[in-house]
Amino acid sequence: MFFPSEPFRIKVVEPIRRTTREEREKLIKEAGLNVFNVPAEAIYVDLLTDSGTSAMSDNQWAGLMLGDESYAGSKNYYHFEESVRDIFGFTHIIPTHQGRVAENLLFSTILEKGMIVPNNIHFDTTRANVEYNKGLALDLVIDEAYDPHIFHPFKGNMDLHKLEQTIQQHGVHRIPLVFITITNNSGGGQPVSLQNIRETRQLLDRHGIPLFFDACRFAENCYFIKEREEGYRDKSIKEIAREIFSYGDGCTMSAKKDGLVNIGGFIGMNNDELADKITTRLILIEGFPTYGGLAGRDLEAIARGLQEVLNEDYLHFRISQVRHLGQMLEDEGVPILKPVGGHAIYLNAKEFLPHISQRQFPGQALTVALYREAGIRAVEIGGLMFGHKDPHTGEDVWPELEMVRLAIPRRVYTTQHMVYVAESIAKLYKEREKIRGLRLVYQAPVLRHFTARLEEV
Ligand SMILES: *Cc1c(COP(=O)(O)O)cnc(C)c1O
């Protein structure tokens, strides 16, 4: 495989520390076998998330110095609005301090008890915000998404047949909008094709239902479209993005992903009435509409980051770096989700640890082992994150996929770090029989994976 080389050079360095195995053993025990409770300073390569972990460019850091911290009408807000509108096109651009607040504002405004929000696959905060507002969050991705072995170029696609059936079954009045998440984070960072987006739009037009995007990784999705979808090879990333959003009525976005910043988000939409209602709530929760919980300098960094992320050299390196890690793991026989998505490698924990049943959290067991053995922090996306009790039958419901996500921060780690990660995982794979299952000793009622405590069985 061709070696991806960095389209940037390093101007500032942040030292990271190696720990001993004994130190890590003690820390992970104190953390209740939950890597969210481990101090970041005791982690060598942190692949917990690609959210808010990006390295900013010299251009963005320079922009911070131009922060205008006026309470109202900051010049950075106007630049932010201009930059977002240039790509997304929506009439109303409402800043928020991160993605989940955008979701909270939107769903608390539009949802009534028993309403349904279809998505390809809801991200965990999206699902939680729908459910907290007494809605039902439905995942209607194509079936291929659940088979970790099938190659499909657009595994994040919405299943149009399932969507049509859902509308027929529940009725238009119960579906205030439909979401498409690009790329589909919880399904492995898989892209959605423009054809699928166009067809979803056509279907929803027949019923008069609005379409929103969860746009966190829109640029990575655009890169896949350019690479894989017929007719887009000669289009720029911005042209592809504009076409995507031209089919939407709005979006929520966490700028902590493809905004290339450490904090920020926004809601975009065309509906004036909805924008008014959301703005009223925004003032209550986040702040005045021209800062939305952010400092002026943060808005400037987003304005610049959103344009930088469209750079094809950057995107080529980004996607290749993730793909390269995937290739190194595959060469060692490690079971991963395929094809490799945009921002992360997903280890298939059911296959990695076939001796641990799903009710003993094989994904979490693998995550703990990876920290203990190599100082690498990953995150479980499986039974701990999505397992729950059926509200009607009281029985445990387990997700189809049991994965461990290695999310790669943008512009942060070098190819050599990726080699370290691949070698550490390959070693763990050879000794996988030693890893034991886990049981829960504490769980919170929502988003339990963040604060859960576990022990080995
Ligand atoms: C990160 C993320 C969110 C939530 O954004 P935050 O900034 O973490 O609140 C929503 N949807 C998707 C797909 C995400 O990846």
> Does the C-beta of 159 come closer than 6 Å to ligand 1?
no
pLDDT at 188 over 80: yes
Q: Can you list the domains of the chain with their CATH numbers?
A: 21-50+312-456 (3.90.1150.10), 58-308 (3.40.640.10)
pLDDT at 54 over 80: yes
Do β-strands 388-389 and 396-397 pair in parallel, antiparallel, or remain unpaired?
antiparallel
Give the pLDDT confidence score for residue 390 in this predicted structure: 86
Phi-psi region of 292 (alpha: psi -120 to 50; beta: other; left: phi over 0): left
Measure 412 CA to ligand 1 centroid, in angstroms: 19
Q: Whose CA is nearest to atom 6 of ligand 1?
A: 99
> Does the C-beta of 375 come closer than 6 Å to ligand 1?
no
> Does the C-beta of 341 come closer than 6 Å to ligand 1?
no
Q: What is the mean pLDDT of residues 188-201?
A: 97
Burial class (CB in 10 A: 0-12, 13-18, 19+), 149: exposed
Q: What is the mean pLDDT of residues 227-255?
A: 98
Give the pLDDT confidence score for residue 444 in this predicted structure: 87
Instruction: Identify the bridge partners of residue 439 per DSSP, sorted by sequence position.
Output: 455
Measure 123 CA to ligand 1 centroid, in angstroms: 7
Instruction: Identify the bridge partners of residue 454 per DSSP, sorted by sequence position.
Output: 440
Of 334, 321, 331, which is closest to residue 428 (Cα–Cα)?
334
Dump the DSSP string for 379-433: EEESHHHH-EE-TTT--EE--S--EEEEE--TTTS-HHHHHHHHHHHHHHHHTGG
**The ligand 1 atom nearest the CA atom of 98:** 7
261 close to 304: Cβ distance less than 8 angstroms? no
112 Cβ neighbours under 8 A, 6+ residues apart: 134
Give the pLDDT confidence score for residue 124 in this predicted structure: 86
Q: What is the mean pLDDT of residues 13-18?
A: 95
Instruction: Identify the bridge partners of residue 268 per DSSP, sorted by sequence position.
Output: 93, 251
Measure 148 CA to ligand 1 centroid, in angstroms: 23
Q: What is the mean pLDDT of residues 20-35?
A: 97
Instruction: Identify the bridge partners of residue 213 per DSSP, sorted by sequence position.
Output: 180, 251
Predicted confidence (pLDDT) per residue in 257-270, tens digit: 999 999 999 999 99
Q: Report residue 393 as tokens.
A: 């039958």
Give the pLDDT confidence score for residue 446 in this predicted structure: 78
Give the pLDDT confidence score for residue 448 in this predicted structure: 87
Give the pLDDT confidence score for residue 2 in this predicted structure: 64
Q: 30 in helix, strand or coil?
A: helix
Predicted confidence (pLDDT) per residue in 83-105, tens digit: 999 999 999 999 999 999 999 99
Q: Report residue 43 as tokens.
A: 């982690």
Do β-strands 178-181 and 344-348 pair in parallel, antiparallel, or remain unpaired?
unpaired
Taking each continuous run of H as one helix and of E as one strand, the counts in the chain are: 16, 16
The pTM score is 0.94
> Does the C-beta of 98 come closer than 6 Å to ligand 1?
yes
Mutation to probe ligand 1, out of 48, 50, 100 (largest number of atoms < 8 A from CB): 100
Q: 212 in helix, strand or coil?
A: strand
**The ligand 1 atom nearest the CA atom of 51:** 1
Predicted confidence (pLDDT) per residue in 127-173, tens digit: 999 999 999 999 999 999 988 889 999 999 999 999 999 999 999 99
Q: Locate tokens 């299943």: which residue?
A: 159
Predicted confidence (pLDDT) per residue in 376-426, tens digit: 999 999 999 988 888 889 899 998 889 999 999 999 999 999 999 999 999
pLDDT band at 1 (very low <50, low <70, confident <90, very high): low
**The ligand 1 atom nearest the CA atom of 101:** 9
pLDDT at 198 over 80: yes
Mutation to probe ligand 1, out of 123, 190, 381 (largest number of atoms < 8 A from CB): 123
pLDDT at 3 over 80: no
Q: Whose CA is nearest to atom 8 of ligand 1?
A: 99
